[in-house]
C-alpha cells in the first residue's frame, strides 16, 4: 500500500525531499483515479528507487489548489522539491511506464 499524505505532511514528504517524488492527486469518487490506482501501485513496486505518494484532494485541498490541479487523476513529478512534469488523466500501464522510465537513476 502506498503512503497517503495530508496537506500537513506535503512540505516534508515532497517539497523538502531530495530526489524524485511522484504525487498522485486523486479522489475516491473519481472513476479514472480508481482505474489508475492499481497501475500507480504497480509502478511504485517496479520503480522502487522513486518515491510514490498519494493525496486525496477531497480531504486535503490546500496543495491541490496551490499546484493548480484542475483535473484528476493528476500525477505531479517533483525533483528536489520542484515540479518537473505533470501527467493528467488516466494512462495505460505501458504509457505510464514509459513516462516514468526517464526518472530512474542510472
Residue 11: predicted pLDDT:
93
Question: Which residue numbers are catalytic?
Answer: 30, 33
Q: List pLDDT tens digits, range 17-52.
A: 999 999 999 999 999 999 999 999 999 999 988 999
Determine the pLDDT at residue 105: 65
Query: Locate cell 497517503: which residue?
Result: 4
What pLDDT digit, counting tens, does each position of 54-89 carry? Answer: 999 999 999 999 999 999 999 999 999 999 999 999
Question: In the chain, how many H helices and how many E strands?
Answer: 4, 5
- Looking at residue 103, its pLDDT comes to 85
Residue 97 has pLDDT above 70, yes or no: yes
Identify the structural domains of the chain with CATH numbers, from first to last. 3-101 (3.40.30.10)
pLDDT for the residue 1 = 67
CA atoms within 13 A on the CB side of 99: 19
pLDDT of residue 56: 96
Where does residue 67 rank: exposed (0-12), middle (13-18), buried (19+ CB within 10 A)?
A: middle
Per DSSP, 89 falls in state S
Q: Which helix (H) or strand (E) segment is 73 a member of?
A: none
Measured CA to CA, the distance from residue 57 to residue 70 in angstroms comes to: 10
Predicted structure pTM score: 0.93
Q: Which residue reads 522513486 in cell numbers?
A: 50
Residue 83, helix vs strand vs coil? strand
Amino acid at each position: 500500500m502506498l503512503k497517503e499524505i495530508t496537506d500537513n505532511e506535503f512540505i516534508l514528504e515532497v517539497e523538502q525531499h531530495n530526489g524524485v517524488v511522484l504525487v498522485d492527486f486523486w479522489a475516491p469518487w473519481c472513476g479514472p483515479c480508481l482505474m489508475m490506482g492499481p497501475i500507480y501501485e504497480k509502478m511504485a513496486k517496479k520503480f522502487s528507487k522513486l518515491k510514490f505518494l498519494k493525496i486525496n484532494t477531497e480531504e486535503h485541498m490546500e496543495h491541490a489548489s496551490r499546484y493548480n490541479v484542475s483535473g484528476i487523476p493528476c500525477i505531479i513529478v517533483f525533483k528536489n522539491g520542484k515540479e518537473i512534469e505533470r501527467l493528467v488523466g488516466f494512462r495505460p500501464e505501458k504509457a505510464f511506464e514509459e513516462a516514468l522510465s526517464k526518472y530512474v537513476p542510472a
